[in-house]
Structures are given as C-alpha cells and as structure tokens.
Structure 1
Amino acid sequence: MSAPTSKASGALRTIGEISAETGLPHHVLRYWETRFPALRPLQRAGNRRYYRPEDAALVRRIDLLLNKQGYTIRGVQQLLAAESGEAPAQEDIASSLTTIRNMLADALAADVRRSGA
C-alpha cells in the first residue's frame, strides 16, 4: 500500500482524512455536525462529506476544547456562539430584564389604582 499523498492546504478533505488527522472516529465527527451549527462540511452524492480548511480548523478547535481542556459540549457551543457574536452580551440581557421588570411594575401599579385597593 502506498503512502498517502499530501494535499494542498486549501484542498477539501474527506471525513476519513480528518478522522486520521485528528484521531477522532467518523461517528464523532458526524455527531458534532448536529451539535455545532458552524461545522457544515460539503455533502456530495451518497452523503460523502468534504471538509473545507475552515471546517478542519473548527474540528481541531472543538477537539482541543472538549478533549484537552475539559469543556462540555454545551460549554463549547456557548463559547463558539459568543465568539461569533450570536450570543447577546451580559449587559444587554441585564438591561432587557430591567426594562421588563419596570414594565411589569408599572402595569401592576396601574391595575391596583384601577381596582381601588
């Protein structure tokens, strides 16, 4: 059997090549596709997966966070969402909650005035 040829850095890689490179089983990579929306390899006929360089980099990052740094899947999801700007900032959440609380307090006070209690 001949040695595998090296590919250009921008070339697409199959799930087998990514699996061999990272040491992760195929089923783990397919599972991660369901848990991490940013991980979307190209799928061709027969559902063959082809990983772009950015997909391969994301697989390596997820592997590092989960298997080396001890993050949970949920923790990695939150970290990636925060980095991509999908998650609202803590200040925005606090401000929204304060606004909702004030609206509820005003509505309650108005209801008490109407009922005459």
Structure 2
Amino acid sequence: MAPPTPKASGALRTIGELSAETGLPHHVLRYWETRFPALKPLTRAGNRRYYRPEDAALVRRIDALLNREGYTIRGVQQLLAAEKKAVPADGPAAALHAIREMLAAALAADEQG
C-alpha cells in the first residue's frame, strides 16, 4: 500500500493528524481546548475536530512555550491574552474599509471615463 500523500499546508487537520504531526497525545489537545479560548477547532458530526492552519500554528506555539521554554499553563494564558490586547481590535476592519473605499473610487472613475 502506498503511503498517504501529504496534505496541503492550508488543509484542515483531524485531531489524529495534528497529534501525529506534533507528537502530542489527543487528550492533551482536547485539554488545551478547555484552557486556551483561542484554540477552537471546527467540530462536525460526531463531534469530530478539524483544526485550521491557524489552530495548528497555535498548538505548536503553545507546545513550544510549555514544553521547551518552561512556561506554566497560566503563564501561556497570560502571554496570549496580552498579545491579543496589543493587536488593535479595528485593524482588520479598518483595512477592509480602506479597500472598500479604494474599490468604490476606482468604480466611480471607471464610470466617468
């Protein structure tokens, strides 16, 4: 039997696939979902978890902080919360608004000329 082909980098991962990639047991990933609110994989029928690429990146980051850098769970929670506060809440919304205005101006210019 041929080995499975690797998934694309943007593909969703099951808990088993993410567990195999990171070397973390399933129960640890499920526990981290209860401790870190930012870690919210998609759930489908039968309560199957599908991790987005940003979820997988967060799992790798949490793993590095806990298991390599010596942070406690509470320490990682505080670090992630502080980083979330540092990002302006209207950042993506402001960028989308600017794009919308640029497109509206381009359409108006196109109608005139």
| TM-score using structure 1 length | 0.71
Q: Which residue of 1 aligns with 2:103?
A: none
**Could you list the runs of 5+ residues in structure 2 that have no partner in the other structure?**
87-113
Q: Considering only CA atoms, is the larger Rg found in Structure 1 or Structure 2?
A: 1
Letter in structure 1 aligned against 2:49? R
In 1, Cα distance between equivalents of 2:30 and 2:41: 10
In 2, Cα distance between equivalents of 1:70 and 1:2: 40
The aligned runs of 1:18-57 (5 Å cut-off) are 18-57=18-57
2:81 is paired with a residue whose SS is: helix
Give the deviation of 1:3 after TM superposition: 1.5
Q: Which residue of 2 aligns with 1:96?
A: none
Spell out structure 1 runs of 4+ moving beyond 2 A. Answer: none
**Could you list the runs of 5+ residues in structure 1 that have no partner in the other structure?**
87-117
In 1, Cα distance between equivalents of 2:79 and 2:31: 18
1:20 is paired with a residue whose SS is: helix
Per-residue CA deviation, residues 13-55 of structure 1 (Å, 9 max, x unaligned), is 0000000000000000000000000000000000100000000
| TM-score using structure 2 length | 0.74
In 1, Cα distance between equivalents of 2:49 and 2:29: 10
- Number of residue pairs matched by the alignment: 86
